[in-house]
Structure 1
Amino acid sequence: MSENRRQVIVDITIAAPIEAVWAALRDPAQIANWFGWDAPGLAEEIKFIFQDGAAVDEARHVVEFSEWEGIRDVVELTRDGKQTRLLLTRADGAPIDWTGVYEDITQGWINFFQQLRLALELHPGEDRRTIFLSGSSKPGIGEPTTELGLGEVADLAPGQAYAVRLGTGDSASGKVWYQTHFQTALTVEQWGNGLLVVTDKGISDSRPHGGGSVLLTTYGLEDTEFRALEQRWNDWWSARYPKSSN
């Protein structure tokens, strides 16, 4: 296969030494603090993807994941002074549609490696707790970004400060962490400088009115505070986006 057919999915610089980033890619306990979200099957999924289904080149800091549907994803780390460049590329797949049809795996990798950057830059050695909600819009309900009142915030550039009262009633402030056509991610000081990732998935056969997901990453919240946050978001979400696997 020609290297010209290799597509870049993620290309980010992490303010951490390559040894720390590599450890976070290989240690299952550390992977659980940035990959996916709190779920009963997370440990098994990590083992399947990063251990059983990965070819590892320690010397070159490269992990090649098992082929799926004829596609091969490879992550490579390179030293950039005291920082680390993380490059995730895809071989043999169809051209990536960055603005049209939402695709879970591509957007998921972007989300997760940005969660890795958050963990290493802002929360090294800390444990996270997450809330993940997904579903399709009820008739008359807009995409999550709109319903949460993030229309103007979504227009800000990464690194810019924001402050907003969300549709859930929560006050949130911090900085724009990253953006894609589908995702808006914001650090949230009120969640221990955690992260809110809001995904608008758009209209499809399974989502005739649109829909999406939210991933809340929190640090250092008391149990009662976290449970209240979880209940508030579950109530708000289920009234607008019935649970869906899409």
Structure 2
Amino acid sequence: MNEASKQVVVDITIAAPIETVWDALRDPAQIEQWFGWDAESLAEEIKFIFVDHATGDPARRVVQFGEWEGSADAIELTEDGFGTRLRLVRSGGAPIDWTGVYEDISQGWINFFQQLRLMLERHPGERRHTVYLSGPSKAGIGEPSAELGLGETVSLPAGAPYAAAPSPGGSASGQVWYQTHFQTALTVEQWGNGLLVVTDMGVSPKRPHGGGSILLTTYGLSDADFAALEERWTAWWSARYPKPAE
């Protein structure tokens, strides 16, 4: 595969040694703490993607995934000062400028690798609990970031402190973890220094009024506190972004 046919989809630096990042990419138990979200199918998905259809080259620090629809992704690690540079490189297919184009797989990788960064930099060895909600907007309902009342928070640069009161209730404070064209991610001190990732997916044939998703990642909450958080956010979301009829 020549270099002209390769495209970098994700390029981030993680403040952790390359051996630590490599282990987190190859150990299914660790992958479960940053990839996807809590679901009965998560362990099976990890096995399918990272074990059955991926090969690891520890000498080159490359994880190569199998081909899908004419293209194949690879994770490449390199040492970067005291940290590790992680790139997801896509080979095959026509290069696409993903900046203003929503595509589930690319956006998912961005989200998950930032969850990996959060785990390694702030929660090594800890177990997360997550809530994931997604759907199209009802008529008259705005994109999730607007409906949540995040306002100027979505325009702050990465690393900036923020304080907000998202619509489902309760205050939130922390810092902007990352920003992309579609995603806004905020650390949340009230969730054990967890993370709120809000995705505004925009209008499409499947989302004539727009829509999006949210991923809540929490650490250290009691079972009761997590259950209350999940119930409150799920009720708020379902009233505005119901799942399409089967």
Partner of 1:65: 65
Contact 1:15 1:84 in 2 (8 A): yes
Residue aligning to 2:126: 126
**Deviation at residue 82 of structure 1 after TM alignment:** 2.5
Question: How far did residue 150 of structure 1 move?
Answer: 1.4
How many residues are treated as equivalent by the alignment? 245
Aligned to 1:165: 165
Matched, 1:9 2:9: yes
**TM-score, with structure 2 as normaliser:** 0.97
Could you tell me the percent identity over the aligned residues? Answer: 72
Pair 1:187 & 2:187 matched: yes
TM-score normalised according to structure 1 size: 0.97
Query: 5+ residue gaps in structure 1?
Result: none
Is 1:90 the equivalent of 2:90? yes
Q: 4+ residue runs of structure 1 moved beyond 2 angstroms? A: 93-101
- Residue 87 of structure 1, CA deviation: 1.0
Please give the alpha-carbon distance, in whole angstroms, between the structure 1 residues aligned to 2:117 and 2:99: 24
Aligned to 2:237: 237
- TM-superposed deviation, 1:244: 4.6
Cα distance in 1, alignment partners of residues 29 and 233 from structure 2: 27
Question: 1:93 aligns to what SS in structure 2?
Answer: coil
- Which 5+ residue runs of structure 2 have no aligned equivalent? none
Q: Which stretch of structure 1 is more off in the superposition, 63-72 or 1-10?
A: 1-10
Q: In 2, Cα distance between the equivalents of 1:175 and 1:111?
A: 16
Deviations 1:180-203 (A, max 9, x none): 101000000000000000000111
Q: What's the offset of the Cα at 1:124?
A: 0.4
Distance in 2 separating the partners of 1:47 and 1:88: 19
What corresponds to 2:28 in structure 1?
28
Residue 169 (structure 1) shift: 1.4
Higher alpha-carbon deviation: 54-63 or 124-133 = 54-63
1:81 is displaced (CA, Å) by 3.0
Q: Which moved more, 1:95-104 or 1:180-189?
A: 95-104
Helix, strand or coil for the counterpart of 2:151? coil
RMSD (Å) for aligned C-alpha atoms = 1.2
Asked if the contact 1:174/1:186 (under 8 Å) is kept, the reply is: yes
Deviates further, 71-80 or 236-245: 236-245
| Local SS of the residue matching 1:45 | helix
Separation in 1, partners of 2:121, 2:26: 18
Provide the C-alpha distance between the structure 1 equivalents of 2:94 and 2:157, rounded to a whole number of angstroms: 29
8 Å Cα contact 1:98/1:181 also seen in 2: no
| Distance in 2 between residues matched to 1:2 and 1:146, nearest whole Å | 43
Q: In 2, are the aligned partners of 1:133 and 1:243 still within 8 Å (CA)?
A: no
Query: Pairwise mapping of residues 98-117 of structure 1 onto structure 2 (< 5 A)?
Result: 98-117=98-117
Q: Which residue is equivalent to 2:50?
A: 50
Q: Structure 2: how far apart are the matches of 1:151 and 1:243? A: 25
* Cα deviation code 1:130-154 (max 9, x no counterpart): 0000011000000000000113101
- Report the residue type matching 1:234 in the other structure: T
